[in-house]
Amino acid sequence: MRNIRLTIAYDGTAYHGWQLQPVQPTVQGAIEARLLQLTQRPCRLRGAGRTDAGVHALGQVANFKTDSALPCAALLHGLNGLLPPDIVVRSAEDVDPDFDARRDSAGKHYRYTIHNARALQAPLSGHAWHLRGRLDATAMAVAAWSLVGQHDFAAFRAADCDRLDTHRTLHRASVSSVEGPGLLLDIEGTAFLKNMVRIIAGTLVEIGRGRMSPAIIGELLRDGDRRRAGPTAPAHGLALVKVHLL
């Protein structure tokens, strides 16, 4: 059996997340269906992480096992020919039989895009959170810096998150102003809780609006009270930029 690693980019607008579901369309389901067409064998993709409904990716990583003799170049060409235009396989390569995209993920880089302007630019309509009121980017950046390191992120998880250990390590949490979209929130860490990045984004926006002090971040990390954090930011502003592999 061969073990093949794929690097995948997708627009998550039309999908109910990455993970296979019995009825709803998912990115994993779309790719597995095309792999079956190409190889004439069922293939189960193992993704490095699950993105929620509406979340995008530039560098999702997945692997699958197959006894197909199709060269990786043919697989890559065939998949991109069969897949809808909102899913693109960027690379396909044979890897060590023991490679597992989820187990061998050392961390992920997520980016949340905020379009801070009166009118929304058309190309960003499905890929940025449109906010008209001015945001204090400096206050947001100061607050984001407090998230770096190992902390208890219980206040930054969805109500239905079932993880018993809510401690996570972030290596980067930055807010930068850029021409066009307005603000980019970049978060890199070893692992994430459900909706963690989106709740961080929502909290930083409340700080940028002046409704919260940057000091709230330290308080939330200490008391773990989700009710005191900001709202969960819309899914369409979030993208998985890169998976860091061991």
| Enzyme catalytic residues | 52
> Within the chain, what is the greatest distance between any pair of CA atoms?
59
Q: Are the CB atoms for 235 and 53 separated by under 8 Å?
A: yes
Which residues, 6+ apart, have CB-to-CB distance to 18 below 8 Å? Answer: 12, 26, 27, 28, 47, 49, 50, 51, 57, 60
Helix, strand or coil for residue 11? coil
Burial 210-223 (b: 16+ CB within 10 A, else e): eebebebbebbbee
Helix, strand or coil for residue 188? strand
Tokens read off for 235: 């899914």
Select from 188, 171, 48, 8 the least CA-distant residue to 109.
188
Select from 116, 122, 242, 107 the least CA-distant residue to 184.
116
DSSP 91-138: EEEEE-TT--TTTTEEEEEEEEEEEESSS--GGGTTTSEEE-S---HH
Separation CA 110–CA 168 (nearest Å): 15
